[in-house]
Amino acid sequence: MKIINKEQFGDFVSSGRKVIQFSANWCGPCRVLTKTIENIETDKVEFAKVDIDGSRDLAVEFNIRAVPVVILFEDGKESKRFIGNKSQNDILQFIK
């Protein structure tokens, strides 16, 4: 999964449907969720990940208090989010 930082974030989410996973390298559930997302084949959204330790300013901006958090952006605006690990089917329903 593509990893983005603050400098890349605005351009990445500015158009279309983008799903951002806020996570950390030390987070076990984050690693499991990353593998689940990487197994999803869809052209409905584009996925990327933000490391909260490397991009603390984004974590603060989006009020990330626990990880993993997944946010769906539509044309640059937050549409919805979930916290914690989810199944592949749950994620597919989330991005519908």
Q: Which of 4, 13, 27, 52 is catalytic?
A: 27
| Inter-CA distances, 64 with 15, 31, 88, Å | 22, 17, 22
Q: Phi and psi for 39 in degrees, rounded to 5?
A: -90, 0
Which among 4, 13, 30, 37 is annotated as catalytic?
A: 30
The one-letter code for the residue type at 27 is C
- 51 tagged catalytic: no
Active site includes 30?
yes
- Catalytic residue ranges: 27, 30
